[in-house]
Amino acid sequence: MAGFTQLFVPGPTNVPEVVRQAMNMPMEDMRAPDYPSFTRGLFTDLMKVFRNETGRVFIFPSSGTGAWESAITNTLNPGDRVLMSRFGQFSHLWVDMAERFGLDVDVVDVEWGTGVPVEIYTERLAKDKEHRIKAVFVTHNETATGVTSDVAAVRAALNAAKHPALLFVDGVSSVGSIDFRQEEWGVDLAVSGSQKGFMLPPGLGFLSVSQKALAAAVAAKHHRCYFSFEDQIRANDTGFFPYTPAVQLLRGLRAALDLIQEEGLERIFERHNRLATGVRKAVDAWGLHVCAKEPKWHSDTVSAILVPEGIDSADVVRRAYHGYQTSLGVGLNKVAGKVFRIGHLGWVNEVMMCGAISAAEMALRDCGVKVQPGSGVGAALEHYRLSAQPAVAKAA
Amino acid sequence: MAGFTQLFVPGPTNVPEVVRQAMNMPMEDMRAPDYPSFTRGLFTDLMKVFRNETGRVFIFPSSGTGAWESAITNTLNPGDRVLMSRFGQFSHLWVDMAERFGLDVDVVDVEWGTGVPVEIYTERLAKDKEHRIKAVFVTHNETATGVTSDVAAVRAALNAAKHPALLFVDGVSSVGSIDFRQEEWGVDLAVSGSQKGFMLPPGLGFLSVSQKALAAAVAAKHHRCYFSFEDQIRANDTGFFPYTPAVQLLRGLRAALDLIQEEGLERIFERHNRLATGVRKAVDAWGLHVCAKEPKWHSDTVSAILVPEGIDSADVVRRAYHGYQTSLGVGLNKVAGKVFRIGHLGWVNEVMMCGAISAAEMALRDCGVKVQPGSGVGAALEHYRLSAQPAVAKAA
Amino acid sequence: MAGFTQLFVPGPTNVPEVVRQAMNMPMEDMRAPDYPSFTRGLFTDLMKVFRNETGRVFIFPSSGTGAWESAITNTLNPGDRVLMSRFGQFSHLWVDMAERFGLDVDVVDVEWGTGVPVEIYTERLAKDKEHRIKAVFVTHNETATGVTSDVAAVRAALNAAKHPALLFVDGVSSVGSIDFRQEEWGVDLAVSGSQKGFMLPPGLGFLSVSQKALAAAVAAKHHRCYFSFEDQIRANDTGFFPYTPAVQLLRGLRAALDLIQEEGLERIFERHNRLATGVRKAVDAWGLHVCAKEPKWHSDTVSAILVPEGIDSADVVRRAYHGYQTSLGVGLNKVAGKVFRIGHLGWVNEVMMCGAISAAEMALRDCGVKVQPGSGVGAALEHYRLSAQPAVAKAA
Amino acid sequence: MAGFTQLFVPGPTNVPEVVRQAMNMPMEDMRAPDYPSFTRGLFTDLMKVFRNETGRVFIFPSSGTGAWESAITNTLNPGDRVLMSRFGQFSHLWVDMAERFGLDVDVVDVEWGTGVPVEIYTERLAKDKEHRIKAVFVTHNETATGVTSDVAAVRAALNAAKHPALLFVDGVSSVGSIDFRQEEWGVDLAVSGSQKGFMLPPGLGFLSVSQKALAAAVAAKHHRCYFSFEDQIRANDTGFFPYTPAVQLLRGLRAALDLIQEEGLERIFERHNRLATGVRKAVDAWGLHVCAKEPKWHSDTVSAILVPEGIDSADVVRRAYHGYQTSLGVGLNKVAGKVFRIGHLGWVNEVMMCGAISAAEMALRDCGVKVQPGSGVGAALEHYRLSAQPAVAKAA
């Protein structure tokens, strides 16, 4: 088929041209004498994206799942009690991993379309006078349902209870795209990956940790090697890695961090909000609904859109892919067949989103959903136009 | 600014990924012993795109303008009478070149928005009993106004008059995108360039010639060297070039020709027609008009869209570029300020065109044109959907 | 500095242009409906490189170290007795990992410059009537010392003792470069990585397993998640992965596997032997010695070259890098300061090796080693010339 | 075949990685509002490479041959008398072009292996009291024989004769690699191309002109269009081009100019001299000779090496290509079969040259030339080592 394939899954996301150029490189020796002068800047600038000021960050050749594993195995022990909540495929998988590593998981299941139940967390933390809970887990942005949770509120709950538990955050589809403040929110372990807000191909797992987490790691006895903090620290402190790093992605990371610094985190967050709002206006114009139950749960990085009864959302995704060369996200687990997803994170802009919405309109209509042609994209583009800088509103 | 820049000028056009990959190469020796085995396939397959069966094709490291110059200087002499028509910036420039090379140009000026005046050509050819007219020029697709002319009809006029004049065709923005049949239409010199339907960066000029043109070249006395047929023929016959060819673009050309063969010319033409029709439906839905006066002039590779009185089309183009990272084509010469252009040729598909139309809607509204948001893109996408293969029409 | 940097470390190795082109790509959806049709071919063809006919292969987004970890945690339990030998930095690290995962490691330390002590293994296996040894480990090619061990002999020892232990092989710097026959040698777990014989950037860990290893995995109780077989099997069987794979490297892997198939494993092995022999002839001509004590230990993928007393090999490496833009490998651990290494594996040829040897000659002389200028490269190139296909020996 | 192909023809030359990265780009609109801000820097910085301070430079989508044609057709008229000399394939072709454009060429044929005969030029200019000679041509570096001529001396001859003729210089294989000073030497038209010292793929012709040449262009009446100064000037003055420029190469040019500025012209010239001297030392060590008759003619960008009687140099080149994946330059015209050429210009360094010499040694010996294996590369590398910065001479 002709023309570019359009990518609007919530990861991997579109790679900027300068990042792609930076990765178009011959191989290099990761033990070269001047390699540390390159790697040190990566660590420093990666910390800034997490807004981690006093801890450190690890870069693993892995997916974000590997960084999850690193977080758990370095700071917790089998049998440790942890507080988690489950409301989508990724929070589900995280619980699953915690259980497989022998943690004593107190899972709070809440309705899919909502997020971390801060009230319940507050209650359980308050009750836990003996501090049996060693860690509290927050899926900042549930990629399966397009739900963003309130990390700051969980920190407030911990503080209110004067509870010493570690605060774990899955920031895979949030960090670098929506507001995240590790230092201010007292997050101890924040996980992310290269292929979302960092605008890189998949292959790097990031783990940003606090001093408290580093201290916990010294005591934790889980078997670990590939994902161990101590090996990384020893090597990273000299500017190297304990085993061969993904050198091509590291060069891409440099370019991506430069882009992030150039645009600035605040403007990036604002852009994601504008683009996401446009998508939500399109959904409204179609007469459909996003999976997130209330505006407070709305994710600015991905929208999961509910299709009408009788329609299989997987058909919509397949139709967009085969008919219009556009990758939309499928529904996963409980919402399989019920939602399709539009990723609006990373290296995206207004016209790209109009393309995504156009593809969705065609696919929806092909599958029998009676959305008005042009209604969604019209609503979105008018929002983009009116919220653009500098504001222009002549035709309004 | 974030996200991909969108390119919808009528050239350079978007380069397919496989072509881009093919050009991501180290340099090579264009005198290598096995280079001819590579170049021969280029010539053969390039002929097929022109549907030139019995002549030959030249590949110059130049723009299409260079190929124009080659056509004139190799087959005509100063003082030779030629019949040309002028109805846009590119037919204008061609006349200008012919005059600068000392030809005695009989220019027929017709209204911009129309194309080659076949009736007038017919008349003049019929009158020219002494065959003073040495060549008849046809701008197949006037890129400035989005007007396609009827080459076959000009051939018919020549045949009717039993006139021996050479038939020159500017196919820069037509060959490889819309129906062109060099052999069947008896075209003697067809000019094209790499950066339009051939989906390459600019830098190659193509000239496809008939045996009759080759014979004329032997007699023509114009000074020429860089663009001379004889030098090319001598070198090309051994698989090489008379001076250093643009080796990177030649590797890209191989990949592009493979893509063209894979999709097939007929399907390429059909795709261009579908995509162009969608754009025209968008223009209708906006309540605007294309520059081409009648459907018979409609170009399937570029649409020049007239903006309402009081609006400067250059503002629309600037707004799309600066506000929405989208390159649309400006109006040139007589239609400067009056039209903006959407290129819909080369490596394009439905969703890309919806993006182009969305950008145009935003820019038009920003400039005060009261098009209904979503009207154009809705009209286009519904056309794309209904004309898609396999046909699906559930929601209609 | 000008000109290309030359890379002759034993990994990452030079990436072929077609592989580089294949990785020059926009991102793609790893859940696309047609993704399985792509991944299935990867698994099939990767098996062929390992000469694994009846088992299966796993592809992790990790370094080879991750694949080591996967091998251990999926098939062994803490407390399991294993037989290992140590004679270089990488066999050392493997022992270290085994110990950290709680295995009861019977380590045989042998002199660096020799390899797996088959006689001792034979003896210990014969004595182990109760089959307490659950696994026997073989570092096929010790990258730190340039020593290749005899895997087939270890299999023979196991067979002779009718011992059921699993046979683990570290093939990171051997598979795809020198003879390796998983099926014939009864290897149960063979580890490799993308950045050596597979000619890719680092970032993929490969683990090729036998049916016996798969059966062992069902029983093994080690905590594991990221590197678990069961998760991979469940997802791979549908053509997908349990978490986001390194899609860019997978496209590169496709191109690399095509290259391997095109050249053919036998011819690849023969090429590595020719190139390595040339390097060893250069070392002889210099009056120096490789670290490998006897020809039977000579590695065809990397040579560790001993510098004379009083010379620091790290200076040689630094001088080559800073003075001549050439990356040679440093000495690691016990041989730090004593050897420098020339990698001659992957996408290398005669002239590249002559460049490596030339750089080494310059750096050696700069550091005070009195090698005769041109002696090494002369010896190597004459070997390459005489062993070239078709043989030519005119000037001999 | 495996490993990288080595390129040592005197153009196209090796493209630096940053240039290659810069050309790995999507297409762009060469009429974009901000395009002039990009092009202006190109013109300014290109002038610096020519050391043209008061004139201007043109960038054509063409080979250097096109720039030759532009120089002639814009400033001379048919019948104009010009003084040229011929001593190699490229000076030969230039004479041929001048004759084809109707110039009255006074050709001085001198022995191949020597260069511009300054004494004869001096004599003829002195005699030409009526100033019938309109232009004097100098092939600065004859690429076919590896001969560099003395441009400054020709300027001195013109000055001595108080002769107003224009000074034309073919700097295709000299500008940006060896000392060239347009302003100081009073060069009126200096021709170059992208694929030599500019380290780009072929496809751009450069023409750097003096104010005197610009004034001459106003009067010259040659038919011209594609290569006309006036069209370029009109468009360039607005930051654009008169027809579609080779946008991909222009982005590469930006990166190449940055590299040139970073290294600095003086250091570039010094590097070329060092590398060339090493090659000449290798030729000496082989007991062979370069085509250039005396040291004063030695070219620092290319060496043409005479093979012994009875040997066909084309066999050497073919053997290097097919046997060792190395492109050397063939002998052209009168020296076909007699010389092979090693290009040592552009993005080259010591180890690359050692590879080139090694390939030549193997190919020479395969063809029966009894050079001592390692003799040439040994001589070269010892020179490189001793002349390296910072100087190190321990082993000497």
> And the tokens for A174?
């949030």
Which amino acid type is present at position B250? L
Is there a contact between D173 and D120 (Cβ–Cβ < 8 Å)? Answer: no
pLDDT of residue C393: 61
Residue D19's pLDDT band (boundaries 50, 70, 90)?
very high
Are C21 and B17 within 8 A, CB to CB? no
- Segment C140-181, tens digit of pLDDT: 999 999 999 999 999 999 999 999 999 999 999 999 999 999
Pairwise CA distance, residues A362 & A317, whole Å = 11
Query: Concatenated DSSP letters for A204-239?
Result: EEEEEE-HHHHHHHHH-----STT-HHHHHHHHTTT
Q: Residues of B with CB below 8 A from A24's CB?
A: 24
Report the residue of C15, C21, C352 to disrupt the B interface, i.e. the one with the largest count of B CBs within 10 Å: C21
| pLDDT in the model for residue C1 | 86
CATH class of this structure's domain C17-262? alpha beta
Distance CA A252, CA A257 (A): 9
Predicted local confidence at residue A382, as pLDDT: 98
| CB-CB under 8 Å, A271 with B394 | no
How far are the Cα atoms of B284, C347, D276 from residue A372, in angstroms, in the given order?
18, 56, 71
8 Å CB contact of A20 and C24: yes
- For residues C220 and D225, give the distance between their C-alpha atoms in angstroms, rounded to a whole number: 79
Distance (Å, whole) CA D268 – CA D288? 27
Interchain pair C65, A243: CB under 8 A: yes
Q: Angle at the Cα of D302 (from D301 to D304), degrees rounded to 5?
A: 160
Which residue, B176, D221, A246, B75, is CA-closest to C62? Answer: A246
The angle, 0 to 180 degrees and rounded to 10, between the axes of the packed helices D64-75 and D89-100 is: 40
**Count of B-C CB contacts under 8 Å:** 14
Any idea which residue has 């009676």 for tokens?
A370
Which structure tokens are listed for B259? 């893509």
- pLDDT of res. A189: 98
Residue of chain C whose alpha carbon sits nearest to that of B22: C21
Is the bond into B164 cis (omega within 30 degrees of 0)? no
Q: What does each C-alpha distance from D219 to D73, D168, D191, D214 come to in angstroms?
A: 11, 17, 21, 9
Strand partners, A204: A61
Contacts of A22 (CB under 8 A, 6+ apart): A251, A252, A254, A255, D21
Residue A208 tokens, joined? 């940003």
CB D344 within 8 A of CB D303: yes
Choose the closest CB to B100 out of D31, D225, D327: D225
CA–centroid distance for D97 within its chain: 18
| CB atoms B2 and A347 under 8 Å | yes
What element of type H or E holds A193? strand A189-193
C375 alpha carbon, distance to own chain's centre: 29
Residue C367 near residue C344, CB atoms below 8 Å: no
**Which pLDDT does position A391 carry in this prediction?**
54
Token pair for C18: 């077609």
ω before B16 within 30° of 0 (cis)?
Answer: no
Q: Which residues of D are annotated as a binding site?
A: 341
Å between C25 CA and nearest CA of chain B = 7
C64/A244 touch (CB, cutoff 8 Å), yes or no = yes
Phi and psi based region of residue A381 (left: phi greater than 0; alpha: psi -120 to 50; beta: remaining): alpha
List chain D residues with CB under 8 Å of C362: 350, 381, 384-385, 388
The CATH fold of domain A6-12+264-386 = Aspartate Aminotransferase, domain 1 (3.90.1150)
Task: Give, in order, the Cα–Cα distances in Å from A324 to each of A356, B291, C30.
Answer: 10, 29, 17
Under the phi-then-psi rule, with left for phi > 0, alpha for psi from -120 to 50, and beta for the rest, what region is D2?
A: beta
Domain regions of chain C by residue span: 6-12+264-386, 17-262
- pLDDT in the model for residue C389: 72
Residues 6+ apart with CB under 8 A from D388: C323, C324, C362, C366, D350
**Per-residue tokens: B356:** 């182009």
pLDDT of residue D140: 98
pLDDT given for residue A392 in this prediction: 59
**Which residue is closest to D69 within chain B, CA to CA?**
B226
Each residue's pLDDT, cut to its tens digit, for chain A (396 residues) gives 899 999 999 999 999 999 999 999 999 999 999 999 999 999 999 999 999 999 999 999 999 999 999 999 999 999 999 999 999 999 999 999 999 999 999 999 999 999 999 999 999 999 999 999 999 999 999 999 999 999 999 999 999 999 999 999 999 999 999 999 999 999 999 999 999 999 999 999 999 999 999 999 999 998 999 999 999 999 999 999 999 999 999 999 999 999 999 999 999 999 999 999 999 999 999 999 999 999 999 999 999 999 999 999 999 999 999 999 999 999 999 999 999 999 999 999 999 999 999 999 999 999 999 999 999 999 999 999 999 976 556 665
Based on its alpha-carbon atoms, the radius of gyration of chain C, rounded to whole angstroms, reads: 21
Residues belonging to chain A with any Cβ–Cβ distance to chain D shorter than 8 Å: 17, 20-22, 24-26
- Alpha-carbon dihedral sign for residues C220, C226, C232, C238: positive
Task: Report residue B391's pLDDT band, with 50, 70 and 90 as the boundaries.
Answer: low
Query: Max alpha carbon distance in chain D (Å)?
Result: 65
Asked if B24 lies within 8 A of C22 by C-beta distance, the reply is no
Q: What percent of chain C has pLDDT over 90?
A: 97
CB A364 within 8 A of CB B395: yes
ipTM of the complex: 0.97
Give the model's pLDDT for residue A1. 86
State the smallest CA–CA distance between residue D24 and chain A in angstroms: 6
Using the CB atoms, write b or e for B173-184: b if 16+ within 10 Å: bbbbbbbbbbee
Q: How far is Cα C177 from Cα C179, in angstroms, rounded to an integer?
A: 7
- Written as six digits, the tokens of C112 are 């660096």
pLDDT at residue number D389: 72
Look at A324 and B351 and tell me if their CB atoms are within 8 Å: yes
Supply the pTM of this predicted model: 0.97
β-pairing, A166-170 with A189-193? parallel
Q: Which chain D residues contact residue A20 at CB under 8 A?
A: 24
Angle at B253 between CA B252 and CA B255, to 5 degrees: 65
Residue (of A165, A172, A147, A155) closest to A106 by Cα position? A165
Q: What is the SS3 assignment for A130?
A: coil
Q: Helix (H, G, I), strand (E, B), or coil: what is residue D87? A: coil
From D268, D351, D394, residue closest to C324, measured CB to CB: D351
How would you write chain B as a 3-class SS string? CCCCCEECCCCCCCCCHHHHHHHCCCCCCCCCCCHHHHHHHHHHHHHHHHCCCCCEEEEEECCHHHHHHHHHHHHCCCCCEEEEEECCHHHHHHHHHHHHCCCEEEEEECCECECCCHHHHHHHHHHCCCCCEEEEEEECEECCCCEECCHHHHHHHHHHCCCCCEEEEECCCCCCCCCCCHHHHCCCEEEEECCCCCCCCCCEEEEEECHHHHHHHHHCCCCCCCCCHHHHHHHHCCCCCCCCCCHHHHHHHHHHHHHHHHHCHHHHHHHHHHHHHHHHHHHHHHCCEECCCCHHHECCCEEEEECCCCCCHHHHHHHHHHHHCEECECCCHHHCCCEEEEECCCCCCHHHHHHHHHHHHHHHHHCCCCCCCCHHHHHHHHHHHHCCCCCCCCCC
- List, for residues C16-45, the tens digit of each pLDDT value: 999 999 999 999 999 999 999 999 999 999
pLDDT higher than 80, residue B392: no
Side chain identity, residue D308: P
Of A17, A22, A25, the CB nearest to D25: A17
Residue D1, pLDDT score: 86
The count of residues in chain D is: 396
Q: Which chains touch A (3 or more CB pairs under 8 A)?
A: B, C, D
User: What is the number of other CB atoms lying within 10 angstroms of the CB of residue B34?
Assistant: 10
The architecture (CATH level 2) of D6-12+265-386 comes to Alpha-Beta Complex (3.90)
Contact B29 D15 (CB under 8 A): no
Q: Which chains reach chain B with 3 or more Cβ–Cβ distances below 8 angstroms?
A: A, C, D
SS3 label, residue C107: strand
Write out pLDDT tens, residues B160-191.
Answer: 999 999 999 999 999 999 999 999 999 999 99
Q: Cβ(C48)–Cβ(C206) under 8 Å?
A: no
Residues 6+ apart with CB under 8 A from C156: none
Average pLDDT over residues D132-158: 98
Average pLDDT, chain C: 97
Structure tokens at C292: 């490998």
From CA C204, how far away is CA C62, in angstroms rounded? 5
pLDDT(C99) > 90: yes
C-alpha to C-alpha distance for D373 and C282, rounded to whole angstroms: 12
Dihedral angle of Cα B166, B167, B168, B173, to the nearest 10 degrees: -170
Q: Which residue, C72, C85, C46, is CA-closest to C213?
A: C72
Q: What are the tokens at C187?
A: 């290897």
CA separation, residue B13 to residues B245, B316, B357, D28 (Å): 22, 20, 16, 8
The one-letter code for the residue type at B350 is: E
